[in-house]
Amino acid sequence: MVWTAPDIKPIDEPFIADEQTMLAAFLDVHRDYLLQKCAGLTGEQLARQSVPPSNLSLLGLIRHMAEVERAWFRRRVQGSDLPWLYVRDDNEDADFTDVDPDQAEADYATLLRERDLATEVVANASLDDTFVHSRRGDLSLRWLYHHMICEYAQHNGHADLIREAIDGVKS
């Protein structure tokens, strides 16, 4: 049986909430949007690099965002000495270039797991809590929420174009 990415029921962001609840909800909206763009596609379709000459694919975006979630929340905020998921010293773009359609289900599950673990890391944190980034110095959790929303928004724009090129599905 061929695996296909599952349908995602989108969440609605709150219209009235405190800042942290609002930021977390908007991040979740963007997280889910990427998965919505993948819904119903096979591993082969997810791995298709649909906008030449770019190496971007939906599967690459899934892998990249799993890497980003781990890097920011668990490696940096939590301070865990975890290995990279896909990136290697000899290939910093391995999250995009080394996609394997047969690993799509596992890569999708990895993104979901990293999202859940990221949420756990900040569950009891304050937006004013800080962590140190090796190049940028001290950063706040508030900054990180904004950064992650921007990161997903940028890649969700890519996902829109890639999905449309695969099967004509528009936003």
Cβ partners under 8 Å of residue 83, min gap 6: none
Cβ partners under 8 Å of residue 134, min gap 6: none
List domains and CATH numbers for the chain.
Answer: 19-167 (1.20.120.450)
**pLDDT the model gives residue 52:** 79
CA–CA separation, 35 and 61 (whole Å): 10
Look at residue 11 and tell me whether its pLDDT is greater than 90: no
Higher-pLDDT residue of 50 and 38 is 38
Percentage of the chain modeled with pLDDT above 90? 91
Supply the DSSP string of 101-113, one letter for each residue: GGGHHHHHHHHHH
Confidence of residue 169 (pLDDT cuts 50, 70, 90): confident
Look at residue 154 and tell me whether its pLDDT is greater than 90: yes
**Structure-block tokens of residue 123:** 């569950």
Beta-strand pair 137-140/130-133: antiparallel
> Which residues share a beta bridge with 139?
131
Confidence of residue 82 (pLDDT cuts 50, 70, 90): very high
Q: What is the pTM of this model?
A: 0.96
Look at residue 3 and tell me whether its pLDDT is greater than 80: yes
**pLDDT the model gives residue 53:** 87
Q: For helices 58-69 and 141-167, what crossing angle results, to 10°?
A: 170
**pLDDT the model gives residue 83:** 95
Confidence of residue 8 (pLDDT cuts 50, 70, 90): very high
**pLDDT the model gives residue 97:** 94
**pLDDT the model gives residue 10:** 86
Q: 84, 94 in Cβ contact below 8 A?
A: no
> Which residues share a beta bridge with 93?
none
